[in-house]
Amino acid sequence: VTTGTASTMPTVFWSVDDWEDVRVATASSSTWTTGTQSPDLSRDPLWTVVRSCPKRDEITVLTLDSKKDVKVNIRANGAWGTWSVLCYDTASSSRRMLDVAYEQSSGDGLICYFTNSGNKVGYRTVTNGVVSSEAWLTPPSSDDIRWLSLVSKPESDEILLVCMNKDQELRTATWNGAGF
């Protein structure tokens, strides 16, 4: 569930096994719209992560599918973009190794995901609905990341990245609005 900006109605996103899309329903007064679907993903999404921009009508939707692909779609002003593959090589499709958060001051987004190639965290920014090219953050340990989460600091452009590795050790890195 995401609430977005003051002009965006609360929106629920979900995926169902054997459906190759993400469904969306929006609240309007006291009712919910019928679930509409995103463009076709071509594979079943197993994890769906959604965050809203605090500055404009923009929602970033990430999925991790059954083939370990991370895909992104930006829904701006109520219209879907196209799905793009960010990563073909996560270590697993059963663990949540992806997240997105928005900087609270600028409204820019940060997408992070684990890439099994080189045991790194891939990251990209989202600026006005445009996703940047991939950059990498190398964790201090070569262990596989099993869980990844991003948390925005209120009234700033800082975002905290928290990763848990296979030994259940937590590692953090801070995004300052320009880099880790």
Rg (CA), the chain: 16
What average pLDDT does this structure show over 84-95?
86
| Contact status, residue 59 vs residue 48, Cβ threshold 8 Å | no
Q: What is the chain's length?
A: 180
* Alpha-carbon distance values, 31 to 24, 127, 168, 180 (Å): 14, 32, 42, 42
pLDDT given for residue 124 in this prediction: 97
> For the residues 86-108, what does the mean pLDDT come to?
90
Token pair, residue 54, equals 């605090």
Secondary structure class of 95 (helix, strand, coil) = coil
Q: Is the per-residue pLDDT at 15 higher than 70?
A: no
> Residue 139: its pLDDT value, please?
75
Tell me which DSSP letter residue 3 carries. -
pTM: 0.84
Looking at every residue in the chain, the average pLDDT score rounds to 82
Q: Write out pLDDT tens, residues 19-54.
A: 556 666 666 667 766 655 555 555 667 788 889 899
